[in-house]
């Protein structure tokens, strides 16, 4: 199951574990960056769609890595959910 949002709306992904780094395979399609909070835990990733297409977001969580598939069309943005993340 994919989690849809309207096209080109930002997603906020919250990780259960601190995020060391985030890398997008194709930044022409989407941009993603970790967000520091007041407690400095760095568990939030802001995803900003740029253009229609499919790409992957590689997330380094210190102890392991995760890959999120993202599909942006002119009508919706979809991220395939993975255990350990909440999506808003």
- Dump pLDDT digits (tens) for 43-86: 999 999 999 999 999 999 999 999 999 999 888 888 999 999 99
What is the residue-averaged pLDDT of the chain? 88
Compute the distance between CA of residue 55 and CA of residue 64 in angstroms, rounded to an integer.
20
Enter the pTM of the model. Answer: 0.84
- The count of C-alpha atoms lying within 13 angstroms of the C-alpha of 78, restricted to the half-sphere facing its C-beta, is 12
Residue 71, φ and ψ in degrees, nearest 5: -130, 120
Q: pLDDT category, 10, cuts 50, 70, 90?
A: confident
More confident residue, 42 or 45: 45
Hey, is 30 helix, strand or coil? strand
Q: What phi and psi values does residue 22 have, to the nearest 5 degrees?
A: -135, 135
| Integer-rounded Cα radius of gyration of the chain | 12
């Amino acid at each position: 199951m994919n989690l849809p949002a309207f096209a080109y709306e930002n997603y906020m992904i919250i990780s259960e574990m601190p995020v060391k780094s985030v890398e997008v395979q194709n930044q022409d399609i989407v941009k993603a960056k970790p967000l520091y909070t007041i407690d400095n835990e760095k568990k939030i990733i802001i995803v900003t769609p740029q253009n229609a297409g499919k790409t992957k977001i590689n997330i380094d969580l210190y102890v392991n890595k995760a890959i999120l598939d993202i599909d942006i069309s002119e009508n919706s943005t979809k991220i395939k959910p993975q255990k350990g993340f909440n999506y808003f």
